[in-house]
Amino acid sequence: MILIKCPYCGERDQSEFSNGGEAHVIRPKNPESLSDKDWGEYVFYRNNPKGIFYERWVHSHGCKKWFNAVRNTSTDQILRVYKVNEKRPDLSDFKNTLKSPSGEPLVGSGNFAVKK
Amino acid sequence: MTNILSIPGVKVSQKDYHQIIVRGNGLEKFNNTIEEKTSIKPPSKNLEVKYDLNYIFAKNSFDQWSLILTEKKDHNQILNLVSSINTNDNILASDYSYGQVYFEIEGENKDSFLNQLTHFDLREEKFPKSTMAQTVIARIECSIYNLGNKYIITCNKSFEDYFQQRLKDTANLN
Amino acid sequence: MSAINNNCEYISKRLIKITFDGKTYEAYEGDTIASALLRNNIRLVGRSFKYHRPRGIYTCGIEEPNALVQIISEHNEPNTRATIKRVYDGMEITSQNRWPSLRYDFGAINNILSPIFSAGFYYKTFMGPKGFWKNLYEPLIRRSAGLGKPPKNFRSKSTHQYHNTDVVIIGAGLSGLAAAKKFINTKYKVLFIEQDSYLGGVLKNSNKVKTINGLTPQEWISETEELILNSKNITILKNTLVTTYNFTNHLIALEDKFAGKKIDLNKSELTLHKIRTSNTIIANGHIERFISFRNNDLPGVMLASSFEKYIHRYGVVPEKEPVIFTNNSSSLSLLKKLISLGCKPKAYVDSRKKDNIETEIKKILKDKEIPFFSDAEIEGCDGNKKVETITIRQGKSFNKLKSSMLCVSGGYNPDIHLFTQSKGLVKWDKNILSFKPDTPFQKTITLGSTSGNYNFKKLCDEINEKLSIFKTKKVSLDINLNVPNKFSIKELWETKKKNNSNWSKSFIDLHNDVTTKDLKQAITEGFDRIEHLKRYTTNSMGTDQGKISSINSLAIVSKMLKKEISEVGTTTYRPPYAPLSFAAIAGRSTYEFYDPERKTSIHSWHLKNNAVFEDVGQWKRPWYFKASENETMHQAVQRESKMLRENAGILDGSTLGKIEIKGRDALEFMNLMYTNAFSKMKPMTSRYAMMLGEDGMIKDDGIICKISDQHFIATTTSSGAPKVLADMEEYLQTEWPHLQVYLNSITEQFSTFNISGPKTREIMMKVFPDIDFSNDAFPFMTFKNFDYKETKIRIMRASFTGELGYEIYIPPKFGLELWEEIFSCGKEFNLIPYGTETMHLLRAEKGYIVIGQETDGTVTPIDLNYNWMIGKNKKDFIGKRSLSRPDTSREDRKQLVGLSPINKKDIIEEGQHIVELNELPKKISNPIKYLGHVSSGYHSPNLNHSIGLAMIRGGKNLLGQKFFVTATGKTKNIPVEIVNPVFIDPENKRLTS
């Protein structure tokens, strides 16, 4: 259970939140003008990267407000939260986030736990 | 008022209050309408609670307020207030009087008692006096108002029996 | 062999009685099961997991791999660590994994067959034939391998306690106490957690420390504890074990509220502490490790520091004349203690060279004439169910000694379990030959031996330096020691065997019966990665998680692979640190609190009137009402359904979701959320509406009441209410923030009654004499508000049964009163209460669908023939575009039809398949063509035969055709005709009457 900072209520336990998948996927303005393929991409396809991910959260058992977060999916660290109407933070802001070339966290348990 | 339980350091009682949930944009026109109809200026800071003997008025989120009226009133009085606020098309007021139940928790051990039912951080620096929070207590959604020496907790009326039993159970197991 | 009692301040001298395998023994209050058994000279306490080898007590704490017992007097609790669990008067204990008895265990035949049970045995042997695993191998293995028996009639109560705090100190040993002392009377809120029932750790478990600041260890502990107790900001939790270290400094700890006491079933037995902290200080010390040698599992082999702990902590000397085997300097304190008690070890075996052994040790051994073997090791030990002889190798010579106990020390591992759970990095330290914490990932500080600091003199500086980030006072520790200040150790993991026999075993994992030979074999077979090797051999996968042995196995593996240990790495440390009871995890969410229950304001009336309840989400809804004691559900539902169509019935519909929608753009919003078009709808009318997902599939349905273009009330299904509100909020907040619309859930603000049947109008007129219920004044799908007593009610003309019907909305405070009023008025019209089952039957007769019954997330409105609900002229609504995707416009999609049995006596069952065959073959070799399934099946009392709703491929074009429906337990199928799904009143005459 991680702590998540709701931009409106402050830090709360993860159990109060629900994840809403990838952020910044905008619903097409004129769905009828889209080809089946493009519409299908919008409805069914989402990114699921290992590493830095822009995603949506909702404080579902609290104020019920949606917000966006930047999370490192390999360490589960939430690096930034921002409101829905705020600008998407630049990827370069998170350059120094712990990440090894293979995408594995530099710190972590198991075989990665031993400092070489 | 009904006494629910009383153990060393914790006293819980149930209250009969009225409540109105107000949604709107919080801008000047909104504030004026609310003040005109209720004679109370709505709190402007997120999670802020204004209260005195007759009311508890809180800003739950940037577009939601809860007004709890602690005095016993005729239901039509409340309904008339609700519909008079609703004359403004850009405000939604809903009567929550009898669909919610209200518990008052006081005593020096109230925090550790409640923390058997909720993860919520009740420490003064995280949950100061005159603020409110929406969170999960005993696995159900609740609002909790910090009035300094006591908390007011509200939840849906359908959970009334369950919530009472959980409170009593917690006291009994201690 | 005999144990002697020693004076000990942690054990009361009150004698109590316990039973072990049916025999009664005396123990002292404060004993653990293990110390009580040792006091009574019982060394054989269990049988091993795989080979059923006799096993004894190996340790004196949480790390115990062998001594697991079943507590009969506590709901038959299995796999309890005898070394932790405290006894109380009347405690009943049995040993585990043996039959018929502990001494004569039939399963021990596995030991004789052991050469075939090597690493990967199960994977290699039980390969086939098909079905043998499930029916033969698995039951067989489960019976012979394993631990205790599951508990019965488990009724204990456990609670959860949440904490939000600034600092958590784990472990109240010397470093933990010193750290806690620094926080006395500071602004920090501190939680100080100790696994034992006494503070002190190493100070009370061993002889290592002579004095602290001029006080005896016990005086210093008492003084410090007193200071801590008087400090308001520090809370001490005893008998509490931290098992889990999660992200964002979230810890889980288990407190045994009845340590050493008989459980009171009315009180909380276990408390699971869920702790969120800003900083964690880990000071839970170290764990001694063993050394592998031949028969290193025989009862009588024990870790040296555990032996010492039994003397200090429990006042029992398990054996007067043990042999001590060590590779390090720490055993001096045990030696000294034994001498001071007048005991004389049989021999002292040290693998270090004579020159490297501390002078003090050599002096004592010489003075007391104790046989001393330096640069030597234990080759193995032998005996029948216990240690009898011990073989010492010194150079090329072998010495055989008679002794019943062997104390082993292979060095100390810093207890890095929690640190690595927190995702901290560890590092190999050559001086202590173990992994120690290096870079923390969270705000974690390790102190004392946990951090790899085995030097007591440096402890004070370490604590002051590491805790300098806090605003605390300096602490000073002037420590006098009984042991050498500098820790010295020689690498030794496994001793050489004299002869290589298939039956001789030196264990690397005592719990799971893994031998060093298994490790070698696994590597030979190519499992050279430590994580693979662990799973293949099950090394360190027991309930003890290899606490005394996992580093040894890494070392042995690294030697075999000719790699550095740090290159081999560790396996992943996962929570929990030690097993915790499911009861503790569940907390109070069991039995009566399994799931929160929601009740309507009419609940008490339902109870009085013999309602049988159904769970709908968390709601308790009347399923049906029993008219008499013996009435079955079928009879009740048939009666209710018939009575309603003849007279009238009333349903408590308070659980239906209700959402109030208001704002400048409410109309536009509703047009986007629902398939229907609301623009031309007149105020104060209502409409059946449907909500889709963006994929075009039906999500929910309900009735929409339009008060004005700016104000709507939507009803939803009972269980779908929170989701619909959440979806609406989501679109408003994220996709259409420009729409000015506000939502409130008003589900709980109204009690809702659905009253329907041909006599409804008469009843309503009697209840509300001032209201005109005529068809002209109050047509179908309209609603009106009325004053009622000191409140207001809303009445809507709508129906889910197909009969004339009204829905009444009233604030819950006045609900029950009105409900009773309706009954007293309805009595002369034979008004009946009905439940959800009758509601489902009646709507099926009328061909109305139920979300989640006819639909399952793959059904579009077109599949249901509900094209009329789709606002085709609307530019957009959620899911519209998907309705013209190639897949959703397929002709052969499953579509809604009605089913009528050709033989009217046949019963159509819900969930059955629709096929073309009138009979199924006895043995199905080829797949049978599946056409669809029965989504609803009822016996209609009004038609007097079974009816069904079904989803069938291309169903729209199959009207009048004959198919077959499968039946439970039969090969003969039921012939049915595809019919219009509306069985009753297709012209809607009743509805609009």
Task: Please list every residue in chain B whose beta carbon sits closer than 8 Å to the beta carbon of residue C163.
Answer: 115
What CATH code is assigned to B18-96? 3.30.70.1520
**Cα gap C223→C213, rounded to integer Å:** 11
Q: Where are the domains of chain B?
A: 1-16+102-174, 18-96
CATH class of B1-16+102-174: alpha beta
**Cα gap C684→C17, rounded to integer Å:** 79
Residue C466: predicted pLDDT: 97
In chain C, CATH 3.30.70.1400 covers 657-748
In chain C, CATH 3.50.50.60 covers 156-287+412-491+573-597
Q: How far is C763 from chain A (nearest CA, A)?
A: 42
Give the whole-number percent of chain B exceeding pLDDT 70.
Answer: 100
Give me the interface pTM, i.e. the ipTM. Answer: 0.97
Task: Please list every residue in chain C whose beta carbon sits closer than 8 Å to the beta carbon of residue B173.
Answer: 157, 159, 266-268, 588
Instruction: Give the neighbours of chain C: at least 3 Cβ pairs within 8 Å.
Output: A, B
Beta-carbon separation of A20 and C730 below 8 A: yes
Q: Say if residues C380 and C507 touch (Cβ distance below 8 Å).
A: no
Beta-carbon separation of B89 and C710 below 8 A: yes
Residue C122: predicted pLDDT: 64
CATH number at residue A38: 3.30.2270.10
Task: Please list every residue in chain C whose beta carbon sits closer than 8 Å to the beta carbon of residue A20.
Answer: 730
Beta-carbon separation of A108 and C423 below 8 A: yes
Task: Please list every residue in chain B whose beta carbon sits closer than 8 Å to the beta carbon of residue C660.
Answer: 92, 94
Mutation pick from C250, C271, C588 vs chain B, by most beta carbons of B within 10 Å, is: C588
DSSP one-letter string for C507-542 = EEETTTTEEHHHHHHHHHTT--SHHHHHHHHTTT-S
Residue C139: predicted pLDDT: 67
Residue C159 structure tokens: 């609670």
Q: Which chain B residues in 47-86 lie under 8 Å from chain C, judged by CB atoms? A: 63, 74-76, 79, 86
Q: Is C963 exposed, middle or buried (0-12, 13-18, 19+ CB in 10 A)?
A: buried
Query: How many interchain CB pairs under 8 A, A with C?
Result: 108
Query: C156-287+412-491+573-597: what fold?
Result: FAD/NAD(P)-binding domain (3.50.50)
Is residue A108's pLDDT more than 80? no
**Which segments of C247-335 are extended strands (E)?**
250-256, 268-282, 286-288, 301-303, 316-317, 323-326
CATH superfamily of the domain spanning C845-979: Aminomethyltransferase beta-barrel domains (2.40.30.110)
Residue A102: predicted pLDDT: 43
Of B23, B121, B122, the CB nearest to C742: B23
Structurally, chain A folds into a number of domains equal to: 1
Residue C273: predicted pLDDT: 98
Residue C6: predicted pLDDT: 79
Beta-carbon separation of B135 and A8 below 8 A: no
Beta-carbon separation of B158 and C748 below 8 A: yes
Beta-carbon separation of C791 and B123 below 8 A: no
> Tens digit of pLDDT for each residue in C34-87?
999 999 999 999 988 888 899 999 999 999 999 999 999 888 888 999 999 999
**Cα gap C416→C421, rounded to integer Å:** 8
**Cα gap C231→C567, rounded to integer Å:** 47
Shortest CA distance from A31: residue in chain C: C881
Low-confidence residues of chain C: pLDDT under 70: 1, 116, 121-134, 136-146
What is the 8-class DSSP label of residue C79? Answer: E
Determine what percent of chain C falls in helix, strand and coil, rounding each to the nearest 5.
Answer: 25, 30, 45
Query: How many interchain CB pairs under 8 A, B with C?
Result: 121
Residue C730: predicted pLDDT: 97
Q: Is B7 on the interface with C (CB under 8 A)?
A: no
Q: 3-class DSSP state for residue C577? A: coil
Chain A residues contacting B via beta carbons under 8 Å: 8-13, 15-16, 61-65
Of C596, C662, C812, the CB nearest to B140: C596
Residue C100: predicted pLDDT: 74
Beta-carbon separation of B92 and C660 below 8 A: yes
Beta-carbon separation of A1 and C875 below 8 A: no
Q: Say if residues C47 and C55 touch (Cβ distance below 8 Å).
A: yes
Q: Say if residues C748 and C655 touch (Cβ distance below 8 Å).
A: no
Chain C residues contacting A via beta carbons under 8 Å: 246-248, 250, 276, 420-421, 423-428, 435, 438-439, 441, 530-531, 566, 569-574, 694-695, 726, 729-730, 733-735, 737, 875-876, 880-882, 885-886
Beta-carbon separation of A16 and B135 below 8 A: yes
Chain A residues contacting C via beta carbons under 8 Å: 1-3, 13, 20, 26-27, 30-32, 34, 36, 39-40, 42-44, 56, 58, 60, 64-66, 75-77, 84-85, 105, 107-116
In chain C, CATH 2.40.30.110 covers 845-979
DSSP one-letter string for C217-233 = HHHHHHHHHHHHHH-TT
Inter-CA distances, C283 with C452, C651, C678, C880, Å: 11, 62, 67, 61
In this structure, CATH architecture of domain C1-155: Roll (3.10)
Residue C597: predicted pLDDT: 97
Rg (CA), chain A: 17
Q: Report the half-sphere exposure of C648 (CA within 13 A, side-chain side).
A: 25
Is residue A96's pLDDT more than 80? no
Shortest CA distance from A15: residue in chain B: B136
Q: Say if residues C44 and C62 touch (Cβ distance below 8 Å).
A: no
Shortest CA distance from C874: residue in chain A: A32
Residue C124: predicted pLDDT: 67
Q: How far is B52 from chain C (nearest CA, A)?
A: 25
Shortest CA distance from B140: residue in chain A: A61
Q: Could you identify the residue written with the tokens 């004026």?
A: B32
Average pLDDT over residues B79-106: 96
Task: Please list every residue in chain B whose beta carbon sits closer than 8 Å to the beta carbon of residue A13.
Answer: 119-120
Beta-carbon separation of A61 and B62 below 8 A: no
Q: Which chain B residues in 83-122 lie under 8 Å from chain C, judged by CB atoms? A: 86, 89-92, 94-100, 112, 115-116, 118-122
| CB contact set of C603 (below 8 Å; sequence gap of 6+) | C620
Q: Does domain C657-748 have CATH number 3.30.70.1400?
A: yes
Residue C256 structure tokens: 């045994």
The model's pTM is 0.93
Strand (E) or helix (H) holding C374 = strand C372-374
Beta-carbon separation of B157 and C750 below 8 A: no
Shortest CA distance from A10: residue in chain B: B126
**Cα gap C121→C115, rounded to integer Å:** 10
For residue A107, give its domain range. 3-112
Alpha helix ranges (H) inside C341-399: 359-367
Shortest CA distance from C247: residue in chain A: A2
Amino acid C268 reads S
SS3 assignment for C3-21:
CEECCCCCCCCCEEEEEEC
Q: Say if residues C981 and C949 touch (Cβ distance below 8 Å).
A: yes
Q: Say if residues C95 and C45 touch (Cβ distance below 8 Å).
A: yes
